[in-house]
Amino acid sequence: MATAPAGSPIRRALAEAIGVRHVIPGGEADPKFRADVLGKYVADPLFVVRPGDTAEVAACVRIAAEHGASVTVVGGQTGTVGGAIAAPGGIALSLDRMNRVIAMDTVSMAMTVEAGCILQTAQEAAEAEGAFLPLDLGSRGSATVGGAIAANAGGNRVLRWGMMRDMVTGLEVVLADGTIVSSLTPMIKDNAGYAWKQLMLGSEGTLGIITRAVLRLRPKPTTDQTALLALADFASVTALLRSLEVRLGGRLSSFELMWGDFYAAMTAAQLAARPRPMAEGHAFYALVEMLGGDPDHDAGQFEAALGAAIEDGLVADAVIASSGRERDALWAVREDMVPGLAAYKPFMVYDVSMALSAMPGFVEQVRIRLEAAFPGVRMLFYGHAGDGNLHIIVNVGDKGMAHEREVDRIVYEMTGEVGGSIAAEHGIGRSRIGFLGLTRSPAEIDLMRRIKRALDPEGILNPGKILE
């Protein structure tokens, strides 16, 4: 275990900068600062530090640099790729004391938050003012806004409102040398020079430490319609998606796709808590959501759009939620992963993306290749199909994690063959290092290295992530 003597110079300097009680030796720190949500990675940091404001973050970074220690920001630990796992002997920097909503401007439709703010807290603060922060993830209750920015999170409503990249107008960042760069603006349009904020989005803590952000808000929708639809084939899935996009006038906000085996596994595991909303055995299930603003007509429009899809032969069965409780039960089929996937542990989880037209062939090939390599393999497919984002859960037996790199290679090589991306929304982190070249060109990777060298020449920001 990494230790630094109580009187070590780095510890003294950190304690002087942010207060001794906010410098916690790694071995004494709460496991939430050291392990990720899947329990796959456990860090052994020298210290967990908990700065209280941006100036203190900058001081910590400067002290770390002076002493040759690395800095990894730890947020909600809800990532799946080991992106927020501190390097051995490095510093884990938590922004859990910087968790406030600082300002709300419902005229400009923008909110300013500290990076350690929990996503759900930010969502609820916006809603209390009649506004809406569209980013939504299953892990909303523990993911932080800063982590969502660092990962350029996606989730369930990308189809309509985009990823985090589309919601950040202002950013404050601490660079590797301790410089604070701040542009906390609500402006949507700003082409004055390089879009440096966009470079930080998705950089996974390797280019700068995000301390505050201004998020773009939308007027809060006042109606929601949710339905679960069963479909017989992938052609019906894509036809349904396009039909709903048009018929709902751009108000389709989620189109979550579940292959039949995912639906069967999730609902079987949840039977004690809730009955199956519809029979298993269909090839596909789509969970669709429309958020609107016309209580008199929205339900009718939604039902008419679904009726047309049924008439066109696209939908084999449909359940429409008629209360908030029913809506939550439909979403639980998709999102209540802990019981739903328990029987699949230990599993690997993938988030690849590709042209939608390539998706059925990709799924078929992955099944064939994994079954050939790992007889008895169990796979579940689901994802944010409206975005071309496919998730795969793979179990290759109780000792399966020993084969993780082989399974990764099969999935990622196939992703490269269809011109896709090995990381649609979860990033590269630690677990996908070494596979980047399968879906990024050497010139692209070289450009990434140049950017990294320019911003962090000593390599102190979250080392061992994204690039080898």
Nearest to 165 by CA among 154, 178, 174: 154
In whole angstroms, how close is the CB of 136 to ligand LAC at the nearest point? 10
Nearest to 381 by CA among 354, 417, 409, 413: 354
Residue 266 DSSP class: H
Amino acid sitting at position 447: L
Considering the complex, state which of residue 339 and residue 437 has its C-beta at the smaller distance from ligand LAC: 339
In whole angstroms, how close is the CB of 254 to ligand LAC at the nearest point? 11
In whole angstroms, how close is the CB of 79 to ligand LAC at the nearest point? 10
Indicate the SS3 state at residue 354. coil
Q: Distance (Å, rounded) from C-alpha 140 to C-alpha 118? A: 7
**89-108 positions binding ligand LAC, by CB under 6 A:** none
Contact residues for 7 (Cβ-Cβ < 8 A; gap 6+):
none
- Tell me the residue nearest to ligand LAC as measured from the CB: 391
Considering the complex, state which of residue 17 and residue 349 has its C-beta at the smaller distance from ligand LAC: 349
In whole angstroms, how close is the CB of 394 to ligand LAC at the nearest point? 13
Name the CA radius of gyration of the chain, rounded.
23
Q: Which of 64, 349, 407, 461 binds ligand LAC (CB under 6 A)?
A: 349
In whole angstroms, how close is the CB of 332 to ligand LAC at the nearest point? 13
289 in contact with ligand LAC (CB under 6 A)? no
Nearest to 285 by CA among 258, 265, 305: 258
Considering the complex, state which of residue 67 and residue 378 has its C-beta at the smaller distance from ligand LAC: 378
Considering the complex, state which of residue 298 and residue 351 has its C-beta at the smaller distance from ligand LAC: 351
Nearest to 139 by CA among 78, 83, 85, 202: 78
Q: Distance (Å, rounded) from C-alpha 271 to C-alpha 275? A: 5
Indicate the SS3 state at residue 160. helix
Considering the complex, state which of residue 11 and residue 157 has its C-beta at the smaller distance from ligand LAC: 157
Considering the complex, state which of residue 49 and residue 349 has its C-beta at the smaller distance from ligand LAC: 349
Nearest to 237 by CA among 192, 278, 286, 187: 286
Q: Which of 138, 360, 397, 434 binds ligand LAC (CB under 6 A)?
A: 138
Considering the complex, state which of residue 47 and residue 382 has its C-beta at the smaller distance from ligand LAC: 382
In whole angstroms, how close is the CB of 353 to ligand LAC at the nearest point? 12
In whole angstroms, how close is the CB of 257 to ligand LAC at the nearest point? 11
In whole angstroms, how close is the CB of 303 to ligand LAC at the nearest point? 27
Could you tell me if 51 and 11 are in contact, meaning their C-beta atoms sit under 8 angstroms apart? no
In angstroms, the first-to-last Cα distance of the chain is: 24
Query: What x-and-dash track marks residues 391-410 binding ligand LAC by CB under 6 A?
Result: x-------------------
Considering the complex, state which of residue 138 and residue 397 has its C-beta at the smaller distance from ligand LAC: 138
Considering the complex, state which of residue 216 and residue 391 has its C-beta at the smaller distance from ligand LAC: 391
Number of residues lying near ligand LAC (CB under 6 A): 4
304 φ, ψ (degrees, to nearest 5): -65, -40
Q: Which residue has the tokens 């029913």?
A: 326
Peptide bond connecting 442 to the previous residue in cis, omega within 30 degrees of 0: no
Q: Which of 114, 351, 408, 456 binds ligand LAC (CB under 6 A)?
A: 351
Could you tell me if 349 and 393 are in contact, meaning their C-beta atoms sit under 8 angstroms apart? yes
Q: What angle do CA 403, 405, 409 make, to 5 degrees?
A: 120
**362-391 positions binding ligand LAC, by CB under 6 A:** 391
Q: Distance (Å, rounded) from C-alpha 152 to C-alpha 166? A: 9
What is the chain's length? 468
In whole angstroms, how close is the CB of 158 to ligand LAC at the nearest point? 10
In whole angstroms, how close is the CB of 132 to ligand LAC at the nearest point? 20
Considering the complex, state which of residue 349 and residue 422 has its C-beta at the smaller distance from ligand LAC: 349
Binding site for ligand LAC (CB under 6 A): 138, 349, 351, 391
